[in-house]
Amino acid sequence: MPVEQSFLMRKIFAYLLPLILISCGKPKPEGLILKIQYQPEKTYSISTIRGTETVITYSGEEVAMQKLMSKNINNPTISKVKTKSTTELVTSKKITSLSFPVSLIYKETLSLDGKNEIPEGTEIHGEIISENLPNFHTVSAETLDDHQKMQLLQTVRSTFEQLNFPEKRIKIGDEFSIDRTTFLPMERSEIETIITTTYKLISIEKEVATFELTQTYRMTPEFMDNTFTGNGQGKGEMYFDINKSIISGYTMNTEINMNKKFSYFEFNLKTKNEFSQSTNLVTK
């Protein structure tokens, strides 16, 4: 090797060596932090499918069964509900260094019978502060009354609260659980239901993290009289887009069983629920 070329190579290596040492000294962290972050001036398209099949079976003394028949109550009573909705989460320009407006816009919500359950164009407004999840506070819809608006607002708030995960780094094989409490009305009383969802990180491929989901339902009646039993379980999957910091896909199938005894009869209720949702960043 000529002297000039050898000198040039040593000079290049001298410049490259610090870069090599820096890259070797700071390896890429393993795993990920599961944190949902929406960016300003973006549109996210959300497609959701919900399905519920409920079967109620009655049994008991003849007088009770005759009374059910007189009220035209089928035994068993079977009901099916399925809805498909399309919404857009639209974020605006920053109004301060830490906050920007956000709106959830209902484009379409159809049920099995073709009815539009939530009017097209219904908007729920809020804001995103710092790197937190949306805080919704106002519903804009011409055909909904105040009570319906409040119910819708509470439902949307509850949905986004479920995206608030522990901010800790997790690796493949790690899992964590989150409890959520709801109350089911029954016979002038309530059933406290604690839903425990466990998230287990299965894989990370092409910047998409796959989680295995399991759910358990623990049901406790307000009055402990041993006439009620209930439980439930579910399985699903969740896909987290690391680059976009959004849940790109989510599925959950659950089955809930309840039994209630009365003086002359009892009923058994079995409900199967399916839920799937996909979120995409819209390019405009």
What domains can be seen in the chain, in order of their start residue? 30-281 (2.30.230)
Tell me the mean pLDDT in the region 179-186. Answer: 88
Which pLDDT band, with edges at 50, 70 and 90, does 179 fall under?
A: very high
> In this model, does residue 177 exceed pLDDT 60?
yes
43-70 pLDDT, tens digit each: 999 999 999 999 999 999 999 899 889 9
Q: What angle do CA 74, 75, 80 make, to 5 degrees?
A: 70
The strand pairing partners of 60, in sequence order, are 265
Question: What is residue 17's predicted lDDT score, i.e. its pLDDT?
Answer: 38
The kind and range of the H/E element at 156 are helix 146-161
Question: What is residue 284's predicted lDDT score, i.e. its pLDDT?
Answer: 61
Which region among 39-48, 105-114, 174-183 has the lowest average model confidence (pLDDT)? 105-114
pTM for this structure? 0.84
Q: Using alpha carbons, select from 276, 273, 275, 254 the residue that is nearest to residue 53.
A: 273
Secondary structure of residue 95 in the 3-state scheme: coil
218-271 pLDDT, tens digit each: 999 887 677 889 999 999 999 999 999 999 999 999 999 999 998 889 999 999
> In this model, does residue 145 exceed pLDDT 70?
yes
> In this model, does residue 14 exceed pLDDT 60?
no
Mean pLDDT score of the chain: 87
**Contact by Cβ (8 Å): 248, 239:** yes
